[in-house]
Amino acid sequence: MNFIKSAALLALSAVASIAIAGEIKPYTQAEFDKLAQEGKPVVVDVSATWCPTCKAQKPIVDGLMKQPAYKDVTLLTVDFDSAKPTLKKFKVSMQSTLVAFKGGKEVGRSTGDTTPEGLEGLVKKTVQ
């Protein structure tokens, strides 16, 4: 009986943690369009697996997405090496670029910033 209660509590806490965290998912045009149409806050994260700056940004951005203040923000990830049409669409020429949107309109952009304050400032623009 205690095992069942523990399992139920664990499942409930997992659901609760999902509800207070922003989503991170791969970019698709359909998903971006849907979120923009709904007026949702979005950050497009353009990175490359070989990029040291991107590697420095990742834990900061992932941590921000776990904060309750950004639970409504969706982070859409774009691979710099394989998504050239998407890069052109967003006018991105370098990896480690983040583009912030609110209701489908760009509200900020950052390239190469690895400071927690700078990255949070960008994400914050999507929810203000």
Q: What is the pLDDT of residue 19?
A: 55
pLDDT at 20: 75
pTM over 0.95? The answer is no
Q: What local confidence, expressed as pLDDT, does residue 11 receive?
A: 41
Residue ranges and CATH numbers for the domains of the chain are: 22-124 (3.40.30.10)
Q: State residue 21's pLDDT score.
A: 83
Residue 41, exposed/middle/buried by CB under 10 A (0-12, 13-18, 19+)?
buried
pLDDT less than 50: residues of the chain: 1, 3, 5-18
